[in-house]
């Protein structure tokens, strides 16, 4: 009796599986061309942090990209193109598994992201072997373009431009003769700190390394080293949460110098972590122009949709998504065609004009690096543009 | 290897290490008490601590304080501190009791094997921290600057601030109080009796269930106080801030002798200072590795820890 029941259930299960597979197959064959003359029914993915300690940086980018998709759909029909979100939490541990699930979706023509260098190192090889083109609006580690990934495109300058700009600011504007440099051992933080250290040369009074965001909260040893070194400036290569905690603990220990960070610290989350008083006066560099300088109606459109000001790289992500959308308009409806399109694109967006070199870097004449400062209410305000060296 | 840096900064590194160690010691009490009485490693204790930090912060937030508020006057500081401590103690204690009631007591009634307790403890820890993470969107929460760090003592390049003195004195005082409680009161004798032999203690008229709940409660109270000290010192908390510190606290408990109250204090202080020294010599990225190497070396020579296990032994 029991055996009969199991056989019956097994038969039903097999029938369901076959029916489901048949249904799936029939969907695929009619899905692409159902909306008529427009190239609809495709997806562009966002791959990056939406939760986790550095979530703000990822969310700014995702929202900029999604704004572009919404504006496109307003013109071309609702749900023409959709954005598919993959939350990597900014972690190089989570990224590979998530990347493998992304590449199984055949509707995805391109990726805006990954925004962080660590997860880029982990996930980009998987995207490269699947041939899905990506434009990262924020991963700045220089080595990312040296691996020979055909699908890699960077919409901003890398740390070989950002690092010297930070060092130049420390030496020429802050006029600091003793600088303490620390990083969080991440691909991005350590890379940026190394560039800054080499540019500062003998002005480096001491170095240290901390744990990654969330792995360490008590920085008393680093704080003590900064104070003992007599440094008047402290450069931290890392993300805003650790940087904020360090700034708070440095202030509590009585250190009155200036803290400088890279684009990973360029977020109001730094002031939330440090407290507005301690954060005021801190400097961050960014291979981006201020979002408020974005042309057109981007600033007001972003505020209308998301009810908050555009954040770091929101405008670059908006442009990156629009590059993909223009590619779809031009008939590049497979990842291979889209990748070829990217290699010859010359697109003027709201933040910058974009042309990619053969290794996927932004054309060097289009690079912009700015310095920003935290004001007394915890907001990031533009300070000055770093001169092109 | 920067030995000259270590010697130059010996004073400051020692003081900050003692302050961090004092917090770890208070936190370690929960582990050592529960192990001493139940032979159970209460992994959920780290979440008891974390919940205490959020309780204090949300209570202060209720009064309109956040990380950007100005420091109140002395009377206000004392008032807010007491309110924060009360909130953290109540919430941590309640969480500890809840975990005991929901996670461990049913297993004890069914005489479950020790592995079941271990898995349940880890599961409770992950469940609570993930839930708090969902509700706080895994964001950090800032701490109002209730105590403006002010230098009290200045010897050479060593600076001792009011907050550090408060933390160390509070930890020492609480340890002394707890030691007297365990060794010189009736309830304390009950705890020692259950730690020595639960069934004989029951035969002698000790209410085993009540003693166990008391032990969890005391651990939770200490964790609540440690939580308030932690947020004042570090300045932020997050849903997983219990996890990292929990590992260190458990290590401190083992280092000092698991089941030994004075051992928890000594282990915490030693661990805090050792981590800072390792950071000074090798760089902060080595502080975790260095601390655990020290633990392994000490255990190699003193397998029961620095002071040995003692809660279950008949000792005054």
Annotated domain spans of chain A: 42-158+291-356, 160-286+370-385
Q: Cβ of B236 and A244 within 8 Å?
A: yes
User: Has residue B282 got a pLDDT over 90?
Assistant: no
What's the whole-number mean pLDDT along residues B304-316?
66
| Pairing label, strands A283-286, A370-374 | antiparallel
pLDDT at position A278 over 80: yes
Contact indicator for A46, A55 with CB cutoff of 8 Å: no
Tally the domains of chain B: 1
CA–CA gap between residue A289 and residue A98 (Å, rounded)? 31
In chain A, the residue whose alpha carbon lies closest to the alpha carbon of B137 is A51
Does any CB of chain B come closer than 8 Å to the CB of residue A211? Answer: yes
Confidence of residue B25 (pLDDT cuts 50, 70, 90): very high
Q: Which of B275, B215, B288 is nearest to B45 (CA)?
A: B215
Q: Which domain does B96 fall in, by range?
A: 3-134+154-301
Average pLDDT, chain A: 88
Residue of B nearest to A276 (CA): B68
Contact A321, A68 (CB under 8 A): yes
User: Which of A185, A244, A275 is opposite residue B285, by nearest beta carbon?
Assistant: A185
Instruction: Reduce the DSSP state of residue A177 to 3 states and report it.
Output: coil
Answer whether residue B170 is part of any domain.
Answer: yes
Which residues is A42 bridged to in the sheet?
Answer: A81
Query: Is cis: bond before A114, omega within 30 of 0?
Result: yes
Whether A53 and B138 lie within 8 Å, measured CB to CB:
yes
On whether residue B266 sits in a domain, the answer given is: yes
Q: Which of B147, B154, B126, B157 is nearest to B234 (CA)?
A: B147
Contacts of residue A322, Cβ cutoff 8 Å, sequence gap at least 6: A68, A72, A347, A349
pLDDT of residue B241: 87
Distances (CA, A) of A358 to A117, A322, A344: 20, 21, 10
Q: What is the CA radius of gyration of chain B?
A: 20
Chain-centroid distance, C-alpha B10: 25
Q: What is the pLDDT of residues A78-111, one digit of tens each?
A: 889 999 999 998 889 999 999 999 999 999 999 9
Nearest CB to B234: which of A218, A276, A378?
A: A218
What is the arithmetic mean of pLDDT over B30-53? Answer: 91
Shortest CB distance from B142 goes to which of A55, A228, A272?
A: A272
Conformational region of residue B111, where left means phi above 0, alpha means psi within -120 to 50, and beta covers everything else: left
Kindly report the nearest CA distance between residue B250 and chain A, in angstroms. 17
Euclidean distance between CA atoms A107 and A39, whole angstroms? 12
From B235, B240, B285, residue closest to A209, measured CB to CB: B285
How confident is the model over A58-83, as a mean pLDDT? 92
d(CA A49, CA B7): 42
Contact predicate B43/B124, CB 8 Å: yes
Is residue A36 scored above 80 in pLDDT? no
| Cβ neighbours of A215 in B, within 8 Å | 244
Which residues have a Cβ under 8 Å from the Cβ of A365 and sit 6 or more positions away? none
Say yes or no to pLDDT of A27 above 60.
Answer: no
pLDDT value at B18 more than 70: yes
Q: What are phi and psi for residue A28, nearest 5 degrees?
A: -60, -40
Q: Evaluate if residue A23 carries a pLDDT over 80.
A: no
Name the token pair of A306. Answer: 């998301």
> Which pLDDT value is given to residue A26?
45
List the single residue in B13, B138, B233 with the smallest CB-CB distance to A224.
Answer: B13
Residue B172, SS3?
helix
Cα of A222 to nearest chain B Cα, Å? 7
pLDDT for position A374: 93
Q: Which residue of A has its CA nearest to B141?
A: A273
Decide if pLDDT at A253 tops 60.
yes
Query: Which of B139, B242, B268 is the mutation pick for testing A, counting most A CBs within 10 A?
Result: B139
As a whole number, mean pLDDT of residues B112-124 equals 91
Q: What's the length of chain A?
A: 389
Between strands A204-209 and A233-237, the pairing is unpaired
Under DSSP, the state recorded for B128 is: H
Q: Residue A181: phi, psi to the nearest 5?
A: -115, 130
Encode pLDDT of B169-227 as tens digits: 999 999 999 989 988 999 999 998 998 888 899 999 999 889 999 999 999 999 999 99
Contacts of A220 in chain B (CB under 8 A): 13, 16-17, 19-20, 276
For residue B292, give the CATH number of its domain.
1.10.3470
pLDDT of residue A66: 94
Q: Please check whether residue B151 touches A, CB under 8 A.
A: yes
Element of type H or E holding B155: strand B151-155
Q: Is residue B142 part of a domain?
A: no
Q: Is residue B312 part of a domain?
A: no
Mean pLDDT of chain B: 88
* Cβ neighbours around B92 below 10 Å, total: 32
> Considering the domain boundaries, does residue B143 fall inside one?
no
B80 token code pair: 């807010």
pLDDT of residue A34: 41
Share of chain A above pLDDT 90, in %: 59
Q: What is the DSSP letter of A273?
A: H
Please, what sign has the CA dihedral across residues A316, A322, A326, A331?
A: positive
Residue A12: predicted pLDDT: 74
Residue whose tokens read 């650790």: A242
Question: Within 10 Å of residue B197's Cβ, how many Cβ atoms?
Answer: 12
Please identify which residue in the block is written with the tokens 């130059």. Answer: B8
**Alpha-carbon torsion, ordered A137, A133, A88, A44, to 10 deg:** 90
Q: pLDDT at position B311, please?
A: 64
Q: What is the CATH number of domain A160-286+370-385?
A: 3.40.50.2300
- The pLDDT of residue A29 is 41
Could you tell me the two tokens for A288? Answer: 């981006």
CB contact under 8 A, B142 and A254: no
Q: Note the CATH number of domain A42-158+291-356.
A: 3.40.50.2300
Bridge partners, residue A213, by sequence: none
């Amino acid at each position: 009796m029991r055996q009969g029941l199991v056989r019956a259930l097994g038969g039903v299960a097999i029938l369901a599986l076959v029916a489901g597979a048949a249904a799936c197959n029939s969907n695929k064959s009619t899905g692409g061309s159902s909306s008529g003359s427009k190239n609809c029914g495709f997806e562009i993915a966002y791959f990056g942090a939406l939760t986790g300690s550095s979530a703000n940086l990822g969310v700014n980018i995702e929202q900029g990209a999604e704004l572009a998709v919404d504006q496109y759909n307003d013109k071309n029909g609702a749900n023409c193109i959709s954005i598919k979100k993959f939350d990597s939490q900014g972690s190089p541990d989570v990224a590979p598994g998530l990347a493998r699930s992304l590449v199984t979706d055949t509707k995805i023509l391109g990726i805006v992201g990954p925004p962080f260098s660590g997860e880029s190192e982990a996930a980009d090889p998987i995207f490269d072997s699947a041939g899905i083109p990506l434009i990262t609006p924020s991963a700045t580690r220089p080595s990312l373009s040296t691996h020979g990934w055909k699908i890699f495109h960077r919409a901003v300058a890398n740390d070989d431009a950002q690092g010297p700009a930070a060092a130049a600011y420390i030496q020429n504007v802050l006029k600091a003769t003793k600088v303490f440099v620390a990083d969080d051992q991440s691909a991005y933080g350590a890379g940026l700190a190394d560039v800054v250290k080499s540019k500062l040369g003998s002005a480096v009074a001491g170095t240290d390394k901390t744990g990654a965001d969330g792995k360490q909260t008590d920085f008393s040893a680093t704080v003590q080293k900064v104070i003992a070194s007599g440094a008047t400036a402290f450069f931290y290569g890392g993300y805003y949460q650790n940087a904020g905690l360090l700034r708070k603990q440095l202030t509590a220990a009585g250190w009155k110098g200036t803290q400088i960070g890279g684009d990973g610290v360029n977020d109001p989350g730094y002031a939330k972590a440090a407290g507005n008083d301690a954060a005021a006066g801190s400097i961050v560099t960014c291979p981006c122009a201020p979002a408020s300088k974005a042309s057109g109606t981007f600033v007001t459109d972003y505020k209308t949709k998301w009810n908050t000001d555009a954040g770091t790289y929101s405008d670059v992500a908006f442009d990156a998504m629009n590059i993909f959308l223009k590619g779809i308009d031009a008939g590049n409806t497979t990842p291979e065609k889209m990748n070829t399109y990217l290699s010859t694109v010359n697109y003027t967006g709201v933040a910058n004009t974009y042309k990619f070199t053969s290794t996927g870097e932004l054309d060097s004449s289009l690079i912009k690096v700015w310095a920003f400062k935290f004001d007394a209410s915890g907001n990031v305000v533009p300070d000055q543009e770093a001169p092109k060296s | 290897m920067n030995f000259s840096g270590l010697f130059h900064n010996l004073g400051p590194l020692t003081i900050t290490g003692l302050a961090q160690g004092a917090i770890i010691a208070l936190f370690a009490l929960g582990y050592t008490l529960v192990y001493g009485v139940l032979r159970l490693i209460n992994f959920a204790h780290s979440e008891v601590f974390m919940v205490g930090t959020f309780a204090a912060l949300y209570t202060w937030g209720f009064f309109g304080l956040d990380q950007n508020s100005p420091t109140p006057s002395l009377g206000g500081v004392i008032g807010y501190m007491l309110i924060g401590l009360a909130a953290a103690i109540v919430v941590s204690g309640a969480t500890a009791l809840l975990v005991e009631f929901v996670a461990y007591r049913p297993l004890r009634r069914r005489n479950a094997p020790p592995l079941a307790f271990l898995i349940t403890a880890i599961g409770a820890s992950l469940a609570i921290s993930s839930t708090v993470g969902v509700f706080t969107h895994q964001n950090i929460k800032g701490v109002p600057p209730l105590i403006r760090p002010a230098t009290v003592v200045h010897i050479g390049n060593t600076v001792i601030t009011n907050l550090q003195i408060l933390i160390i004195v509070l930890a020492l005082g609480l340890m002394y109080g707890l030691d007297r409680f365990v060794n010189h009161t009736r309830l304390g004798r009950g705890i020692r009796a259950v730690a020595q032999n639960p069934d004989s203690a029951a035969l002698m008229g000790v209410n085993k269930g009540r003693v166990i709940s008391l032990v969890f409660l005391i651990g939770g109270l200490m964790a609540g106080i440690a939580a308030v000290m932690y947020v004042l010192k570090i300045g932020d908390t997050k849903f997983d801030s219990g996890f990292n510190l929990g590992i260190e606290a458990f290590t401190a408990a083992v280092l000092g002798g698991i089941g030994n109250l004075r051992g928890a204090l000594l282990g915490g202080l030693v661990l805090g200072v050792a981590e800072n020294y390792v950071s000074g010599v090798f760089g902060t990225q080595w502080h975790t590795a260095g601390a655990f190497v020290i633990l392994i070396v000490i255990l190699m020579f003193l397998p029961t820890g620095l002071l040995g296990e003692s809660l279950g032994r008949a000792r005054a």
